[in-house]
Amino acid sequence: MFPEIIALLMSIAFLYVLFKLTKSLVSLLINSVVSVVILFVLNYLGIGLVINVWSVLVVAIGGLLGLLLVLVLHILNIAF
Model pLDDT for residues 37-67, shown as the tens digit of each residue = 999 999 999 888 889 999 999 998 888 988 9
CB 39 within 8 A of CB 62: no
- CA quadruple 63, 64, 67, 72: dihedral positive or negative? negative
φ/ψ (deg, to 5) at 48: 100, 10
pTM above 0.75, yes or no: no
pLDDT in tens, 4-47: 888 788 888 877 887 777 777 788 888 899 999 999 999 999 88
Instruction: Please state the domain extents for the chain.
Output: 2-75
Buried-state track 31-46, b at ≥16 Cβ within 10 A, e below 16: bbeebbeebeebeeee
